[in-house]
Copies of this chain bind each other. A is one copy, B any other.
Amino acid sequence: MRALIFDLDGTLVDSVYPHTLAWQRSLLDFGLSCSAWAIHRRIGMSGKLLVKTIAREQHRRLSASDIEKLGRHHAQLFHKLAPIGIPLPGAVRLLAFLRKSKIPHGIATSGKHAEIKSSLKSLSLRPATIVIDGDMVSEVKPEPDLFLLCQQSLNVKRADCLVVGDAIWDIHAARRSGIQSVGLLSGGFGEQELYNAGAMRVYRDANALHQAINELGFE
């Protein structure tokens, strides 16, 4: 194992719960009511697929312009609920350790550039850190494009990369990219859900992953 590719929300920053409530409220303002837990389980996939899934359950069809408006409304509500990024336990220290140990690593997130600024800022990243966001590919998770672009930018073979994510959609996208993955509980998915999706291993959070870094094959 030579390189790590991280998801952002729920993996490095504590943003899944405000994202959940922001989607619930923006959907409600659009006449679509959905339980918070059922939104929570869709966080991490593309916003477009999330709202399409929920509209389909309720036998509603949304136009492309509806979907765009919903996305903008969600972004505004999210910013109100979570005005500053809060790193998850161990995330900042793990990233600093990887830099010091010269272990190649990057971030690959479905989030759009403008929406992830405060999260990235909270992680004390160096300008050279590779960040692949939702504006840089045509299809985000659960499609594999984000992880593949990150892997190519890191210039490390797929077999030597490991994806770290908190959502089923990270694990699915990793499988489809041909990159192995581990799950973290810090986004609120259940352990068994992540194993069922295909995670090789599930840890509590970035801190626990840091402690276990050697058992994953990193020297």
Residues in chain A within 8 A of chain B (CB atoms): 10, 14, 16-18, 20-21, 24, 33, 35-37, 40-41, 81, 86, 88-89, 185-193, 205
Contact = CB atoms under 8 A, between A and B. Distances in A.
A37 B191 contact: no
13 contacts: A14-B35, A16-B36, A17-B24, A17-B36, A21-B81, A35-B89, A35-B186, A36-B188, A37-B185, A37-B187, A190-B190, A190-B193, A192-B193
Contacts of A40: 17, 188
Contact of A189 (B89, B185, B190): B190
A91 to B, nearest CB: 10
Nearest to A41: B188
A89 to B, nearest CB: 6
Contacts of A190: 189-193
Given A16-B36, A33-B86, A189-B190, 19 more contacts: A16-B37, A17-B17, A17-B21, A17-B24, A17-B36, A21-B21, A21-B81, A35-B88, A36-B188, A37-B185, A37-B186, A37-B187, A37-B188, A41-B188, A188-B188, A190-B190, A190-B191, A190-B193, A192-B192
Q: At the interface, is chain A mostly helix, strand, loop or mixed?
A: helix
B35 A205 contact: yes
B192 A191 contact: yes
What are the 3 A-B residue pairs with the smallest beta carbon separation, nearest first? A190-B190, A192-B192, A37-B188
Nearest to A10: B37
| Interface hub of A10, A16, A35 (most chain B Cβ within 10 A) | A35
A106 to B, nearest CB: 23
A138 to B, nearest CB: 31
A61 B190 CA distance: 29
